[in-house]
Structure 1
Amino acid sequence: TYDGKHLPQSWMNENCVMELEIVPENDKDVRHHDWIQFPTDPLKAERALFRVGIPALGKVEVQFSDSRFPDEVVRALDIRIGCYYQLNELSQVCADFQEHDFAKLGAVCHLAKPEGIESVRHLAENLDQFDFAPDVHTPEEYGQYMIQQSGRYEYDENLAEFYNYEEYGIKRILQEDGVFTDYGYVSYHGTLTLEELMQGNTAESHQQEQEAKMEGMAW
């Protein structure tokens, strides 16, 4: 029920990416809780703390109330007091994501094993550097997806019985070093290592570093 002050979880904004529930320390009375939906105006996070009677640095429990992120992403996020700005930045990156994009981010997190909000955000900003085949879980399914649905080949259904999907799928997987996840198959084709990508490095800076090293060797 609405108490005139706090919005209950069921009032979720349909455009929000995630919602956090703020719980004063050792206080389980829901009337003393508040909710923050992201992305949002950064000041709203601080106002929510004050609405439940907590100063900005007061002790408080923060927990997910709802989220459009797959479980793989949620597990990678380090939710704690003072992380509102980072969560807001992540939510802004994902604000226009469709369900396919959220599933792809879940698969990418399974592959990259990020730790913390910033690492997840850098992955979300670089989803185009990953190939994703949704709902594909075996080499045969991947081979069939690549030949029939990826758009990289001109598929002729009259020759369907001659395609060896499993053999081709295995070949591709070995070439790409990809993995199967609950969301589908994913592989990385960027020039940086995954660790560098999650640290916020860019391909441009990597190229500049390599060029500088080559110039140094020339001397």
Structure 2
Amino acid sequence: MTRIREHGIRVVGDVHGDLNAFRHATATERFVIQLGDLVDHGPDSAGVMELMLDLLEQQRGLFILGNHDRKLGRALEGRRLRRDPPLEETLRQISLPEYEGLPERIYRAIDQAPTWLRIGRSLFVHGGFHTAMLSHSSVPGLGEMSAPLSRALFGETTGRMQPDGYPERRLTWINRIPEGMTVYVGHDRRSTDGRPWRRTGRLGGTAVFTDLGAGKGGHLAWIDLNEP
């Protein structure tokens, strides 16, 4: 892409409806790669999606599909989902009269969003890395679930639940990242110092966790790359 060659990339972590922070993050000449979970929890998911759609139409950025974005897409398909107050609020916002036509535009964007993206020695995905991502193209996020798609959306889980009600996650996938490759993810809030969290695996590859809690009491993270 011409913009990437000329200006580089800005990698943006989970937004979760934090429109003001997302405006700051996207005020750049760089090509924006947002790592998913644009919606739910924060104050203005409709505004965030409208801004993201503008970036797509202007060819200034794209978003990797996150689990919250997928859930919104499935709701817009008319699927019956279990009760989810953050999702219900997002659906209410995007259905307001001032956003006429927005649900249809959002659905088309979610349906077409990549579930992972590789550029050079960098791989961008929401939840976690799977070795199949090295040899297979991104799969449709609203389609049939597979091991790579599950990893892309949800990371790697142990099958147990944490006290907070969320699945317990593990990070053994970091050890499968090849040497010289960096995987940029959101989804999993690991930082303890307010900066993206980096870990190197046994093969020498690196994972960078960008979720710093935007829309959930934390803040939005972004990283600028000149040579992905």
TM-score range, shorter chain: under 0.3
Pick the structure with more helix per residue. 1
Pick the structure with more strand per residue. 2
Q: TM-score, normalised by structure 2?
A: 0.26
Which structure has the higher relative contact order (CA within 8 Å, separation 6+)? 2
Say which one has the larger Rg.
1
Q: TM-score, normalised by structure 1?
A: 0.26
